[in-house]
Structure 1
Amino acid sequence: MECFSRAQDGFHRLKKRLRENSFDNLVCLVMVMPSLVGFEITRKKIFVPFWIIHLSLLTYVYGVGSLVYQAKHARVASDFIKSFVNVSILVLTVNNSYWWLTHRDLLRNVLRKANASDKMTIQAGLFVDKHQHSLSIIKRILIIFYFINLTNEFTSYLPKRAELNEKTFSMTPCVGIKPLTSSPQREVCIVLTSLQELTIVIVVLNFQTMMLLLIAHTSTMYQLLSDEIMTFNTILTNPSNYDLLKERLGVIIKRHILTLDIIKDIRVLYSIPMGINFGSNAVCMCFFFFLEPEEYFNFMPISMYCFIVFFLYCFLGQRLTNAAEVFSRAVYSCGWELMDIKEQRAISIMLLQSQKEVDLLAADLIPVNMLTFASTSQGIYKFVTVFKL
């Protein structure tokens, strides 16, 4: 009865989280899987056994398995291409694992600032419905992203990996455990391989969802700031409301400073990891088109994941840039010419800050926007077309 009661309470809490639209609730949704294995961001210390198991299996299954396959079994170009896809997955996972282990303090600080910005927006009391609607959209995107990738993993990729066919993924499964055709060696290998894939999903998928949450929420804060500062045009029609304008202006300036600080931290958090992920995703998508048609199905889950994540990076980066540009135009159009000198100076300073380009850079070099997505996709198409001729 006690176990049933706990399960029922857990179900009700999950149901409440799925209905509630708040920043704290969105963070809790992102942290569902990490909390199960002990590295949710609210903990001051990580759960060391999970990372020992994860990194050990990653080295053994993907590292040693790819190395042995390339050294002993790879014969033709397609074998090496499929094997290098596994290497890119290894690099991607190591990169995201390192991020979780080394950026916890900064990530916790960014979440605290984002939460403070969200609360200040609620306290302003303006566009509450739009705020709730925006958070609801972010929540739906998070859930859809989870659903697509987990469905992709558990219905396509993981069952194929559990078959332990060396030729399917061009990677030697469970080096040193032989023969894999008899028990218990085969069952042990299936458990090790499946456990490794599950730990990869937890680490990599939640890296992506946390990035999605932070960038999408920051874009929303920019959009709400734009709407709020445009209300100054209405306030200025009645001189008796000027004190209200000064009060709102002070709050908007504080929120804008906080938003710029969050963007600065996001750049530090994601610049290098995003650059490495860009490279690994591009390699996976490029190599996919070199496979034989009958091998497409086996690697389709990996290719879909790389494409979705690559698009998501560029879409979020473009959305943040667009939101910052809208805010800059709103500051200029807020009716500052009708304000007193003191408020005009404050608006002038905020306008100068808002006109600075707000963008994300992968590896501090590549702009993360839709132009990059289009040009990279075009480059991959041209590269593959030339080699296919």
Structure 2
Amino acid sequence: MNVLRNKFKVYLEKINYVEDPVEAAKTMVSSIQRLVGIRNLFGNKKRNFTILSIFATVLFGGTFIYVGTFSQIVYLYQVFPDKSESFKALNCISATSVPLSKYFFMFLSRDRLRNIFELSHQGVISIPEGSAAKKKMLSTLQRARYASWLVVANQAFTHIFYLLMPLIFTIFGNDRYLPTTPGDSYGLSPKYETPFYEITFVVTCVATAFSAINQTGYIVLFITLLTHELGHFYAITETLNEIYDMLKNKEQKKDDPEQTEEANIHEKLIFCVKHHQFLMHYHKYIRELYKVVFGAHFLMMTIVLVTTLQTMNEWDVRNTILTGVTGIMPLFLYCFGGELLISAGLEMSAAAYTCGWELMEPKQAKIVLLMLCLSQRPLYLTAADIFVMNRETFGDVAQVVYKIYAVFN
């Protein structure tokens, strides 16, 4: 039994070993986005388009726009000003606008992503090999890979379940069911009659695949970039904790420290300062990358949540849960990720304050003081430079959504 356990452990270590975690993350995201026609995601000098990529873009993107946006705008025009049906159409339009905006974000960000991932390479390489900081960084990036595969599995399960349930109800029930969209798909009416039902179901499956694939790539990219920032914070914190241990041991000896030990402390302190400088520069690029799309998503997801509450008593439970999760999960992801970033900065600040600066030479203590001053303004992500991504913002949005719901009712 122990032999099998050891072999399984060795196998897991083998498949999880990644020589270059940055390139591994790029390969994973690129492989996902190629499925919806986005090539050269990171601005490499390759052909931007192929016949296959153009076909995938037209097939997936065009079908998604036709089913999720165009048809629902036509339906909204037909049912307006009916309050109930109008809210259903608005709910679907706003919910489908989120994955569509993610597609355009991924398509138009190649130059910025190229610069960011070049910095990511520099950041990982700048950490000394064999150090505790390097091990912490690599373990953090490894956890990001686990989280990324979890996202892939979650997105696949959720969207397959979304398509499978109507099919099961149709096979074993007396009526025909479709994945939930209000009204008819434009030009395919009546949609529950043959052959319209079969065509509508196939078209909806293609559109759902586009949503699942594109959102998966977007979330994996966000997790990767966020984890790089967190990893750099943790690397600095780990080094500061090492400095504390070295100074504590020096104080307990109560004799003149060895020259090599003093030089080692100074070297680690300089690394912390230089790496914090790099982190501030790196964070500026990521914040600029996401602030516009975060702002757009905040508006869209607020509309999704408001319209979901408005149609709660008039639409089936399946749709309410689906659209509610569509609105809540991305918002929760942004705010939870932003909260982790702020917490990592506070943890680094606490490590700097408790690193034993009072036992250092005056020049070294001044360096720690400089880091403490800079860390008083934590690094954070924003939506359009208005809302800070943290748990307070998540709670505030929930309150605003409920107030809007109360006004309409």
| TM-score bracket relative to the smaller structure | 0.7 to 0.9
2:60 counterpart of 1:61: no
Post-superposition shift, 1:160? 4.2
Give the conservation status (yes or no) of the 8 Å contact 1:166–1:172. no
Q: Residue 170 of structure 1: SS of its match in structure 2? A: coil
Match of 2:221 in 1: 210
Post-superposition shift, 1:366? 0.6
Post-superposition shift, 1:75? 6.7
Match of 1:141 in 2: 147
Q: Equivalents in 2 of 1:232, 1:303: separation in Å? A: 48
Give the conservation status (yes or no) of the 8 Å contact 1:328–1:351. yes
From 246, 260, 265, the counterpart of 1:245:
265
Once the two structures are superposed, residues 30-89 of structure 1 have per-residue CA deviations (whole angstroms, 9 ceiling, x without a partner) of: 443224445353463254443344443343222320122122246732211111112112
Q: Equivalents in 2 of 1:324, 1:118: separation in Å? A: 18
Post-superposition shift, 1:323? 0.7
| Structure 2 unmatched runs, 5+ | 1-11, 171-175, 251-256
Higher mean displacement: 75-84 or 26-35 = 26-35
Post-superposition shift, 1:281? 1.7
From 196, 213, 233, the counterpart of 2:207:
196
Q: Equivalents in 2 of 1:376, 1:198: separation in Å? A: 29
Q: Equivalents in 2 of 1:275, 1:107: separation in Å? A: 19
Match of 2:173 in 1: none
Distance 1:303 1:295, change over 3 A: same
Distance 1:235 1:199, change over 3 A: same
Once the two structures are superposed, residues 162-219 of structure 1 have per-residue CA deviations (whole angstroms, 9 ceiling, x without a partner) of: 989689521421x234564566554444333322221122222321221122113311
Give the conservation status (yes or no) of the 8 Å contact 1:158–1:197. no
Q: Equivalents in 2 of 1:273, 1:201: separation in Å? A: 18
Q: Residue 310 of structure 2: SS of its match in structure 1? A: coil
2:57 counterpart of 1:51: yes
Once the two structures are superposed, residues 209-246 of structure 1 have per-residue CA deviations (whole angstroms, 9 ceiling, x without a partner) of: 21122113311320221121222233342342121223
Q: Equivalents in 1 of 2:75, 2:178: separation in Å? A: 8
Give the conservation status (yes or no) of the 8 Å contact 2:95–2:327. no
Higher mean displacement: 190-199 or 115-124 = 115-124
Q: Equivalents in 2 of 1:158, 1:352: separation in Å? A: 55
From 278, 282, 307, the counterpart of 2:298:
278
Distance 1:203 1:167, change over 3 A: closer
Q: Residue 169 of structure 1: SS of its match in structure 2? A: coil
Counterparts of residues 71-82 of structure 1 (less than 5 Å): 71-73=77-79, 76-82=82-88
Name which one, 1 or 2, has greater alpha-carbon Rg.
2
From 313, 319, 324, the counterpart of 2:334:
313
Task: Work out the number of aligned pairs and report it.
Answer: 374
Give the AA of the match of 1:20: Y
Match of 1:152 in 2: 158
Give the conservation status (yes or no) of the 8 Å contact 2:69–2:97. no
| Structure 1 unmatched runs, 5+ | 1-14
TM-score using structure 2 length: 0.80
2:117 counterpart of 1:96: no
Higher mean displacement: 115-124 or 182-191 = 182-191
Match of 1:291 in 2: 311
Higher mean displacement: 16-25 or 108-117 = 16-25
Q: Residue 340 of structure 2: SS of its match in structure 1? A: helix
From 365, 369, 373, the counterpart of 2:386:
365
Match of 2:289 in 1: 269
Post-superposition shift, 1:313? 0.9
Identity across matched positions, percent: 20
Distance 1:73 1:380, change over 3 A: closer
Once the two structures are superposed, residues 129-185 of structure 1 have per-residue CA deviations (whole angstroms, 9 ceiling, x without a partner) of: 544443343233222233223211111257549989689521421x23456456655
Match of 2:184 in 1: 172
Match of 2:5 in 1: none
Once the two structures are superposed, residues 65-123 of structure 1 have per-residue CA deviations (whole angstroms, 9 ceiling, x without a partner) of: 01221222467322111111121124323321221122111112212222332333362
Once the two structures are superposed, residues 263-288 of structure 1 have per-residue CA deviations (whole angstroms, 9 ceiling, x without a partner) of: 11111111010111122222212222
